[in-house]
Structure 1
């Protein structure tokens, strides 16, 4: 990670305490030689103040030009004690970058500048101090500044990496939520398709009988109209179930007591009623079940019901007068096999609707549970829908 990526932005608070720390260090050191400079070398007094002010101005560009600012402030600090504060801040700031090709030369420069300052720019009072002690103190202080800066840089990088991981984890969680929402919307869309396609095809078949049959008695007309009414009522009821689930998924609160809880979805035990309803509508359905429906898991039973419903809907739409064979077989070791077969119509009517996406959605539903689906037309012109579902989802 580059230093620019983990260095925090400077705030007014950060600027204030850094300025206070620099002023404290500069004024403390300058006060030890201010009397001597004023009384003995007054021009040096003003040069010290001028160079110090210039260092305070330059140090604010330490992040943009770290090496240049550190070199300037440390060289100037040889003759200007007021520049010590900016020199220390610049060296520590550069050390936070943790680049050895910058730290090593600048550390050597800082030590050399201190040695030159002790040798050539010390006041008479400072010359009385042991030189070795001065060198040891200056070396220790320089090493402490470098290590302190490297520690700050390491901590900043660690916090930045944690922040990046948190943002990545949050983004991943949001992506998972979006994916879950998309899958749920797709599932609800398939439910709505299965419900509406089945019921509307039944109503279309009954309405077609009223439109084209002229030999129906009054009682038969009323019975057919009653069937259309009941089918439309069932379509609205089942659609309301799905919308209730949709509202729960989206977290929408119920508005009042009129919003009843959705009923339980259909399962394998509703297959008998589904086949009887198809027969009532005039379809010739031969259904055989060779498995124990009670042993099926709810999710597999639900999918099996939708598969049979979609198969009967397609047969009613595309081959309304053809006999349909429905066979369910299998077991816990093999899984569930659904075979739906019907002969193709001799010719498609002009009013026959174009094929939709029922089988595509059904394949997605079956694949979601780990199953397989195939729809083929044999040489004998018979349409065969084969669905295999695992016993456990």
Structure 2
């Protein structure tokens, strides 16, 4: 698999979008229960701060008309917070100007700055934050607090502005992290599915190559005997009957092989190794002997009395299953004894069971892609059988497959 086969794996496609749902006026179609709870809480916080500011304005000696005007402005500012998700930038700028002349709107301004930091990127937030600091300095001059000095009022306003903006930016960063992790998980899942599909395709191609070789052998045998009948029309009836029987059996077996190869594409570029002999159940003993020479402890229990009677395709599948399992055991459980059991009879199918216990002592972890087991499952499925694999209760591993064996 290459990146050109799957364009979404290119770096340009993997870059994360800085925007979040709700950014750039892409508001949610409707408020959720969580949105209503958060908006109500923000409204109450802004109203509480407004009430405190209104009481401070009354104690500062302002007239009742000024206090009433401040309260009306504060109510309108708090009500405007219900639209903070759709237009956080415009709301923050408006409340910034209003809070210069009406301290009661200060609570609503802080909430709007928090929403702006959550729903907009850093640049507009920094600009509005700087304007808010300047507005806080102007508000301390226009509506001074008699209980605090100008410097104390200015520092208090700046600290509150920086706190709510920093909090909002932290919330935004956490949401971006969640979105990025979800996207990464989705892409990892898609990549795993593509790898599995790729492994299945390779398994199909390997089966197609093997079946092609077997089918070619059947057809060649059929052609030889048919040619013999053509060049010896005066052959004895017994020889003619024997050749006709061979032709019939070869044609039947070729049709069986052809059914297995239908729908499986052969990969192009088949070169060297095409004429190599295909393994069968009869060569399973040689595979076990080879594994023993490599240092693997193998116990073979082959209950098939006549391996030659097993169909060639089924025998090859059994051989490939045992071969892959022995290889995996040698990599992941060195020193453990592998048990290979082959049983069955015509009409009931053929079963191959390969198991090994947990490795003895500490074993170096060998990375594996799992594509071999995927290929074995695909091979068994195409043969009309099934394959199961997984860890055992004692920490070992077991592979069990059933394949059809016609009567």
* Shift in Å, 1:224: 0.7
What is aligned with 1:3? Answer: 18
In the alignment, the residues of structure 2 paired with residue 83 and residue 19 of structure 1 have an alpha-carbon distance, to the nearest angstrom, of: 17
Tell me the equivalent position of 1:154.
173
Match for residue 214 of structure 1 among 204, 223, 233: 233
Q: CA offset at residue 183 of structure 1?
A: 0.5
Structure 2, unpaired ranges of 5+: 1-15, 265-276, 292-311, 313-407
Task: State the shift of 1:103 in Å.
Answer: 3.6
Cα pair distance change 1:14/1:3, threshold 3 Å: farther
Using a 3 Å threshold, how does the CA distance of structure 1 residues 107 and 205 change in structure 2: closer, same or farther? same
Match of 1:26 among 46, 54, 70: 46
Distance 2:177 2:22 in 1: 11
- What are the Cα deviations for residues 82-108 of structure 1, in whole angstroms up to 9, with x where unaligned? 644542233223334785543433222
Question: Does the 8 Å contact 1:52/1:82 carry over to 2?
Answer: no
Q: C-alpha offsets along residues 286-320 of structure 1, whole Å, 9 cap, x if unaligned?
A: xxxxxx999878xxxxxxxxxxx9xxxxxxxxxxx
Structure 2 distance, partners of 1:101, 1:269, is 71
Distance (whole Å) between structure 2 residues aligned to residue 110 and residue 195 of structure 1: 82
Structure 2 equivalent of residue 78 of structure 1: 100
Flag the 1:46–1:7 CA change in 2: closer, same or farther, 3 A: closer
Structure 1 match to 2:160: 141
Q: 1:144 to 1:45 in 2, by over 3 A?
A: closer
Cα drift, residue 14 of structure 1: 3.9
> Are the equivalent residues in 2 in contact too, given 1:98–1:150 (CA < 8 A)?
no
**Does the 8 Å CA contact 2:50/2:105 hold for their aligned counterparts?**
no
* Alignment correspondent of 1:60: 85
Task: Answer yes or no: is the 8 Å Cα contact 2:81–2:112 preserved in 1.
Answer: no
Indicate whether 1:104 and 2:126 are aligned: yes
Q: TM-score, normalised by structure 2?
A: 0.51
Deviations 1:175-199 (A, max 9, x none): 2111101111111222222222221
Task: Deviation per CA, 1:40-68: give whole Å up to 9, x if none.
Answer: 33445434434543x335523236xx3x4
CA distance in 2, matches of 1:212, 1:38: 127
1:192–1:84 distance in 2 versus 1, CA, 3 Å: farther
Q: Which residue of 2 aligns with 1:113?
A: 135
How much does 1:231 deviate? 2.3
Q: Call closer, same or farther: CA 1:214–1:57 in 2, change over 3 Å.
A: same
Q: What do residues 305-353 of structure 1 show as CA deviations (whole Å, max 9, x unaligned)?
A: xxxx9xxxxxxxxxxxxxxxxxxxxxxxxxxxxxxxxxxxxxxxxxxxx
2:75 aligned residue: 49
Equivalent residue, structure 1, for 2:279: 267
Q: Secondary structure at the match of 1:40?
A: helix
1:227 is displaced (CA, Å) by 1.2
Q: Tell me if the contact between 1:7 and 1:156 (Cα under 8 Å) persists in the aligned partners.
A: no
- Residue 373 (structure 1) aligns with: none
- Is residue 46–residue 111 contact of structure 2 (8 Å, CA) maintained in 1? no
The match for 2:5 is none
Give the Cα separation in 1 of the matches to 2:119 and 2:40. 23
Pair 1:188 & 2:246 matched: no
Over the residues paired in the alignment, what is the CA RMSD in angstroms?
A: 3.9
Q: Distance in 2 between matches of 1:38 and 1:50?
A: 20
Q: TM-score with structure 1 length normalisation?
A: 0.52
- Unmatched tracts of structure 1, length 5 or more: 247-264, 272-291, 298-308, 310-393
Partner of 1:94: 116
Q: How many residues align?
A: 250
- Please give the residue correspondences for 1:171-320 in structure 2 after superposition, counting only pairs within 5 Å: 171-211=190-230, 213-235=232-254, 266-267=278-279
User: Which entry has the higher C-alpha Rg, 1 or 2?
Assistant: 1
How far apart, CA to CA, are the structure 1 residues paired with 2:48 and 2:119?
A: 28
1:28 shift after superposition: 0.9
The verdict on how the C-alpha distance between 1:91 and 1:210 changes in structure 2, with shifts beyond 3 A counting, is same
